[in-house]
Structure 1
Amino acid sequence: MIKVLGIDHINFVVKDVEEGQRFWNDLLGIELSNIVERPRLDIKACRSRQIGEPPKETDITPCLTVYQPLTADGPEARSLAKRGEGVTVVVFAVENLKDAVEHFKAQGIEPFLTPEGAAFFRPGDTHGVRIQLIEGWMYRKGLDR
């Protein structure tokens, strides 16, 4: 069995990142960072700080990432055109990524592993939700901020 530490972050794709940034701020008071271009990922994105009060066990709460495709013909743009706006991935922090990947494989769910040390699982294998696993709270250590 794997140990899930919690949800690290949730990604939302939108047609207009500035509008998405305003929406989350105006609707729930969630302040998102300055918008930055990330050409390697083909996106323009902003991210919230942690949302809510962290539980004592982890001292971590999830955050939101809102992004739009940077180019009109890249994979993110094609995905947005096909699926529309909404949640694109839920990122779970796990205690041991290798064990978690093996657990998924034992269930017949194959990962896509990234050089940065994350594992993605296709929505078709996970009831329509794209799942990403990361070991520990790597994004809290400034690796993706």
Structure 2
Amino acid sequence: MNLLMDQGHQRDQVIAVVEQCQADEKEETLLTLFNEQSTSDSVVQFLRLLTSTYLQNHADFFCNFVEAPCLKTYCKQEVETMAMECDHVDILALLKALEVGIHIVSMEGHDHRLVHHIIPEGTEPSLHLLYHTSHYDILYLRSKL
């Protein structure tokens, strides 16, 4: 029950951020809000709780992909805890929960070839990321002139 209360509180804060950004329609508003520690942490915590909920609601599938005694323990220790790195299974769960697709460009192997992944397959990505050395950076697509 505590998870649901936390999720509701975090959700309300995320909705307030989205509404403020929509009202202002300025990129600076989003940057200002996300550079405020409490706002940024609220958004991240909400996404972590959403991911945990999705994982646990689809435990039959996801339990096969985590290295923990049980999925609930994994979620409590790895997903819900702030400052923990996100694993691939967490990314997949969050994308499915949000019903969005992403494009990940990774530098794999010793020759640092660029490898492209669309997750989930067949979706039109709304977010583009560069993965390197256990870290993701946002890629901004250049608009066509």
- Normalising by structure 1, report the TM-score: 0.29
- Normalising by structure 2, report the TM-score: 0.29
Q: Where is the helix percentage greater, Structure 1 or Structure 2?
A: 2
Relative contact order higher in (CA < 8 Å, ≥ 6 apart): 1
